[in-house]
Structure 1
Amino acid sequence: MKNSKMYRYLKCVITYMFLNIQLSLVQTLSRIPYQTLSKIPYQTLSKIPNQTPVYEICEREFLSGVNLIWKNLAKKVSRDVLDSPHHHSLMYVPNGFFVNMETQNDFGYWDTYWMIKGALICGMEQTVKGILENLLFMVKEHGYVLSRNRVYYKRRSEPPLLIQMMAIYQTYTNDTQFLIDNVQVLDQEMTFWLTQRSINVTSIGNMYSMTHYSYDTFNPRPESYADDVNISKQLKKKEDQDKYISRVKAAFESGWGFSSKHFHDRTPYDDLNKTMLKTNPLDFTYVELNSIMQSNANVLSKMYLFINDTIKSEFYKQIAHRFQIGINALLWNEEEKMWLDFDNLSGKSRNYFYASNLAPLWTGSYDEKLSKFYGDAAVDYLIRNQIINDDLVPRYICIPTSLYDSNLEWDYYNCWPQLQSMVIFGLQSTKSERAKKVAFNFANMWVYTNYVGYMQTRTLFQKYSAIKLGDDGNTTSSENRPKGYGVTVGLLFEIFHKWGHLLMTKNDEKKSKL
């Protein structure tokens, strides 16, 4: 019977019907009626504080226009979602939040980091506190922060930046009681990553305890069900199909989605689906994740010391030290004088340029006494990879994600704001004057391409082209573009907060025409 034509025909029909039902269900659940969302009250969206360097130009068309984008990105989940959770794919959180684009109704985890930094600079302390309460609410409910506040993102997270967000909020507001009340919740999320995402990596006979992106179920992603099924079915064995699905979910937990960063084999294929089958982040130890974990442990140790819990403080101090040993031994490549992702199978560094290679500068995951050395080494690395010229001037409009053109979003020639932030503020934080100069040059160019794109479309983009000014490769007409992009808005204000008096001044006629 199983070999008959009728059986095969019926199997195809049933499979087709099932896929369409699944896809229809996901699409229906994703279209939450707008009335289930309400805006954050406008009075919480303040103007840029007078004391910041950007005040001088905040009334200009660019900055004042970008500041108004916050209104379009402010959302709040309706009480109906709490009362009738089975009617919605959206998950309830108690307070308002920012989305990346006005057409979205859910927020992303690691993207929130850059949005709250920008919101704090713009004076929205109470709004930021509410956003942090949302993330803490998720940890209390699930043990970790979900990738997004949708039911089908359960068991998926993103780079764990909640501890860093809490530290930033504490620095801005000195709200010590909020920290005291929630440090145990931060501990809970840290425990999730230390237990559920832990991996032992062996190199030259030594074993190091690190973390990696992972996933432990094999069902296709509901939000991309048809794509996952269609790509995975190129593999003949069900076991291989399941493994591919798991690898894809781990890739999206990294925040990078599809990228050559997750490939063992960089051989190009004309068939994009065949290219994506190479995705396998489970085999790699990534620089940015373990740098974030090292910094999280260090920050959590200081938080516990602040509340006089010396036992917990020492515990996380040792965890931070453990990660630092792994970063130094596995990820630092002495020949390249740079941190590189590590291939757990081959036991070797992955000697490819990715902007995330510089993440330890951003997290401070190195010996402070060697700050100048690491800053200078990073500059030399950028010169060798032709990201900048010998005179420290950028060769690209912005920092490309990689130098490999895979035709995937998280590769050349795309520039993502998250990675611009890591590189720019990582270089700036060192004691190398050359690195600080490069940081400013990158920041200046990023603002320039943001400005050109904004003047054409009246919005900011999710990503920008490294080779075409003010462009993101999107062919959508300017009048149809949704307002956004939250991460880019947040980073822009952070850059102006640091260098606004240098990027633009009333007396600088040339720069005022950016």
Structure 2
Amino acid sequence: MTVPLPRAAERLAATPYELYGELFIDVQMQRVFGDGKSFVDARPKAAPALIRARFEAERRQPGFALADFVHAHFVLPGHSAPVGLRLGIREHIRALWPLLVREHTQAQDGDSLLALPQPYVVPGGRFRELYYWDSYFTMRGLVTDGRRDLAEQLLANFAYLLDSYGFIPNATRSYMLSRSQPPLFFKMVELLHADDPAAGFAGHLGALKTEHAFWMDGAAGLAPGQAHRRVLRTADGALLNRYWDDRCTPREESWREDVETAEKAGGRPREQVWRDLRAGAESGWDFSGRWCTDPADIATIATTALAPVDLNALLAGLENAIALGAARSGDTATAQAFAARAATRRELLQTRFWRADARHFADLNWTHAGDPRPLTAAALMPLYLGMATQPQADAMATQVRRQLLGANGLLSTTLVTGQQWDAPNGWAPLQWVAALGLARYGHAELARDIAERWCASVQRVYLATGRLLEKYDVARDRPGGGGEYETQDGFGWTNGVFAAFRDGLLKTPAP
């Protein structure tokens, strides 16, 4: 069931499923731990082959207890969420940064955690490793709080991952080396070279081109109506991108959940269900009715049938960054080629991804053109990256007020499904993208309103609980809920966006 990874396979660490086989399956399916991520993050006390052999020898003996065996042979992870500081919220965030820093420079046999050359910042809670798209929003706060050193170390780690693996994985775990996340590396470079972004792009041109090549693998020779990995051509020949995963097994950190989801999917091939679940994880929106044929039923997930509006806007931004970097480097041919790519994708965003009937951007079902996709907060990404027309931005502002603006900030979607990326939840990165995107097109009052509502709720929840959380209920002052695990605290991107809003957008005089 495992699809070989296409690049640098010799460098890829074996995953827990590959290392432990039936032991892994038994632990996950028998729910030895309430959270499936606990076992895949555990460190073995002996060589994995020896542990596997002991399991095979002991599993059928009288009195064998699986939980006891696991505790005897593995060091289980602890949560990385710092608690109990109870300072003022800005002082609390500044105090959290060093507590969220980790260092792991030497790989260990059987440990799923990947080695990195520099210290890094984890989100917190069950998320004990470096995550890709989280880190951009964390970096906003690090720069705001004078921790540029940590932000530069994060950028260096991502450049290392691009050089080592040919892409940036979802997170630095062996079981996440088959997928990436929203491509924000170029925004990280831009952030740390704010005075001269083109110079930053020139200095990281090789890494930027490597990431683009990863997302565009298979584009050459792709016929209309066909797709390969993350690239697709529509029936009339337009070249676009989708989320994907190079494996079609259950996610190892959510093995039991994915097996159960596939069992509920009727006649759909289970490998397709697992692929779409994994592709949903690559999107960062894991999970939302946004990806489903029936938003209320996760078993109808069809992520790979969609060309996401936010992904294609980000790739247009990446293509523009490469064009600017190449121009600064004196590579005129590359600059012209990527400027043309960016212009073509921008035109496609303004036409194919724009629902004129509903007056908002939306994902595109490339397999079924008649499928009108719903409004989600992802529709603000073209504004954030300057890819919309002014009339489109004006219409989006109207739709945000009518459909997505809650008492405590921006809703992820209007769908109520029980999934964590749907109503009533709001997430820090979506508040940032929406506010900055709307402000870019002159809707400063609405941008400020979103930021103020969200920050005020974060502060009220902090005063009540002493916690900074990964997600919030946009309707009421309480933690967000839903999804596969309990709401986590720490929390990198919440800290980063709150700090950047408070010391940036909300520090300037109101319009």
Alignment TM class, shorter chain as reference:
0.7 to 0.9
1:261 is the counterpart of 2:290: yes
Q: Does the 8 Å CA contact 1:212/1:285 hold for their aligned counterparts?
A: yes
Can you list the C-alpha shifts for 1:349-403, whole angstroms capped at 9, x where unaligned?
634221111210011113xxx43x3332122222443x4xxxxxx5522211111
The residue identity in structure 1 corresponding to 2:233 is: N
CA–CA separation in structure 1 for the residues paired with 2:473 and 2:305: 30
Following TM superposition, by how much is the alpha carbon of 1:502 offset from its aligned partner in structure 2, in angstroms? 5.4
Q: Does the 8 Å CA contact 1:461/1:484 hold for their aligned counterparts?
A: yes
CA–CA separation in structure 1 for the residues paired with 2:198 and 2:99: 28
From 197, 207, 212, the equivalent of 2:242 is: 212
Q: 3-state SS of the aligned residue for 1:448?
A: helix
2:231 corresponding residue in structure 1 = 198
2:97 corresponding residue in structure 1 = 70
Q: 3-state SS of the aligned residue for 2:280?
A: helix
1:227 corresponding residue in structure 2 = 257
1:245 corresponding residue in structure 2 = 274
**For 1:425-464, what aligned pairs fall within 5 Å after superposition?**
425-430=436-441, 432=442, 435-464=443-472
Q: 3-state SS of the aligned residue for 1:199?
A: strand
CA–CA separation in structure 1 for the residues paired with 2:259 and 2:400: 40
Q: Does the 8 Å CA contact 1:72/1:102 hold for their aligned counterparts?
A: no
Following TM superposition, by how much is the alpha carbon of 1:219 offset from its aligned partner in structure 2, in angstroms? 1.7
The count of residues paired between Structure 1 and Structure 2 equals 435
**For 1:11-410, what aligned pairs fall within 5 Å after superposition?**
19-21=25-27, 27-32=38-43, 61-77=88-104, 79-81=105-107, 84=108, 86-101=109-124, 104-171=127-194, 176=199, 180-195=202-217, 196-202=229-235, 206-235=236-265, 240-266=269-295, 268=296, 275-348=297-370, 350-366=372-388, 370-371=389-390, 373-385=391-403, 387=404, 394-410=405-421
Q: Does the 8 Å CA contact 2:203/2:325 hold for their aligned counterparts?
A: no
Which of the two has greater helix per residue? 1
CA–CA separation in structure 2 for the residues paired with 1:290 and 1:400: 21
Q: Does the 8 Å CA contact 2:309/2:378 hold for their aligned counterparts?
A: yes
Following TM superposition, by how much is the alpha carbon of 1:74 offset from its aligned partner in structure 2, in angstroms? 1.2
CA–CA separation in structure 2 for the residues paired with 1:451 and 1:31: 34
1:491 corresponding residue in structure 2 = 497
Can you list the C-alpha shifts for 1:110-149, whole angstroms capped at 9, x where unaligned?
1111011111122222221111111111111111000000
The residue identity in structure 2 corresponding to 1:232 is: A
After alignment, is 481-490 or 240-249 more displaced? 481-490
Q: 3-state SS of the aligned residue for 2:204?
A: helix
Q: 3-state SS of the aligned residue for 1:501?
A: coil
Q: 3-state SS of the aligned residue for 2:237?
A: strand
2:51 corresponding residue in structure 1 = none
Following TM superposition, by how much is the alpha carbon of 1:298 offset from its aligned partner in structure 2, in angstroms? 0.8
Q: Return the TM-score normalized by structure 2.
A: 0.78
CA–CA separation in structure 2 for the residues paired with 1:378 and 1:427: 9
Can you list the C-alpha shifts for 1:177-228, whole angstroms capped at 9, x where unaligned?
x7545311211111111224111123xxx32100000123222211111221
Q: 3-state SS of the aligned residue for 2:234?
A: strand
CA–CA separation in structure 1 for the residues paired with 2:191 and 2:411: 27
Closer/same/farther in 2, CA of residues 179 and 362 from structure 1, 3 Å limit = closer
Q: 3-state SS of the aligned residue for 1:464?
A: strand
Following TM superposition, by how much is the alpha carbon of 1:36 offset from its aligned partner in structure 2, in angstroms? 11
Closer/same/farther in 2, CA of residues 36 and 468 from structure 1, 3 Å limit = closer
**Contiguous gaps of at least 5 residues in structure 1:** 1-14, 40-59, 269-274, 388-393, 475-479, 505-514
Q: 3-state SS of the aligned residue for 1:207?
A: coil
Closer/same/farther in 2, CA of residues 217 and 482 from structure 1, 3 Å limit = closer
Q: 3-state SS of the aligned residue for 1:346?
A: coil
CA–CA separation in structure 2 for the residues paired with 1:261 and 1:155: 22
After alignment, is 22-31 or 162-171 more displaced? 22-31
The residue identity in structure 2 corresponding to 1:256 is: W
Following TM superposition, by how much is the alpha carbon of 1:497 offset from its aligned partner in structure 2, in angstroms? 2.6
Q: Does the 8 Å CA contact 2:112/2:174 hold for their aligned counterparts?
A: yes
The residue identity in structure 1 corresponding to 2:394 is: D
Can you list the C-alpha shifts for 1:81-130, whole angstroms capped at 9, x where unaligned?
2xx3x231100011111111155320211111101111112222222111
Q: Does the 8 Å CA contact 2:313/2:381 hold for their aligned counterparts?
A: yes
Q: 3-state SS of the aligned residue for 1:415?
A: strand
Can you list the C-alpha shifts for 1:493-513, whole angstroms capped at 9, x where unaligned?
111232343599xxxxxxxxx
CA–CA separation in structure 2 for the residues paired with 1:418 and 1:123: 20
Q: Does the 8 Å CA contact 1:106/1:149 hold for their aligned counterparts?
A: yes
The residue identity in structure 2 corresponding to 1:199 is: L
Closer/same/farther in 2, CA of residues 106 and 467 from structure 1, 3 Å limit = same
CA–CA separation in structure 2 for the residues paired with 1:123 and 1:248: 38
CA–CA separation in structure 2 for the residues paired with 1:174 and 1:301: 12
Q: How large is the Cα RMSD of the aligned pairs?
A: 3.0
Q: Does the 8 Å CA contact 2:479/2:487 hold for their aligned counterparts?
A: no
Q: Does the 8 Å CA contact 2:426/2:472 hold for their aligned counterparts?
A: yes
